Structure 1
Amino acid sequence: MARSDDEFVEFVQAASSRLTHAAYLITGDRHQAEDAAQTAFARTYAAWGRVRRKDAYAYARTVLVNHIIDGWRRPLKEYAAEEVPERPGAQDVAQTVTQRAWLTAALARLTARERAVVVLRHFFDLSEADVASELGVSVGTVKSTNSRALAKLRVDEGPEDALIGGNGR
């Protein structure tokens, strides 16, 4: 393996969990999230020579969000498979499962734009200007969308720390 390939492998190992979790928060579907993260890593690898010295994680995150948004614009048709995929063993603790279920249900009630803004703003801890730049909207749109989304989430009762600051990553 070349040196840059070793660097990419290290990058993927360091960023995989967080990027996949962010994709899950945006899509609400584990399989779509894994596919989106893999696509982001594949596209990041294709541009690795340009981005490895810069902020590779920001590049991968941008690719991830753009890929998910493209999927909303052009939904992919899925076909049923003959065989059921393997199921991983359920090793989650009850509290983690409860928080994840609450968060998924709460985010599912938001619009696609609201979910994207909340995840980028609070999960990735991006500034309003950065979120606006990544989504191609104005800062005012990010502010109003975030405010509206958080108001919707506050109405729900549940583990408040699951969305922002909790260790549900």
Structure 2
Amino acid sequence: MSLLANIAVPLFFPQPLLALAALIPVIVVETVLLRQRAGLSWRDVSLANAFSTLLGIPLAFVSLMVSGRVFEFMLSRDHTKLYDVIGVLCAVLIPCFVLSVLLEGYYLRSRAMGTSGRSFWLAITRAHCYSYLTLLAFYCSWIAFKISR
């Protein structure tokens, strides 16, 4: 996989080159938000994402296998409803989001300047919300591109 990553990236983009392309804006988004709030550099954010990737790749595969078995009765080609798809997506993404915030947060907390405690964790959570929304937007764009071809 790539050296710069986020835990959910292997879920959205299992192809290594596409995952690397999707990570660039994710790291940019997190860096912009965390530089303002906590004085973190792009290098700090990139290293935190690299660390979360090491745990994110196995988690992504386990999560996909478990959710595939657990939710296969909900997702059929003929009778799937939008809220079923959203439920499965949330069941897969929420553990990745929480683990990503915790892992990267503990690493970046030691490097943050001027922010501590609750305000730091709020900044980390906000940065991850925006980066996950960026991932979701890229994923939807990728799906739309594949469907239109």
Which TM-score bucket, shorter chain as reference? 0.3 to 0.5
If asked which structure has higher relative contact order (CA below 8 Å, sep 6+), I would say: 2
The structure whose Rg is larger is 1
**Which one has the bigger helix percentage?**
2
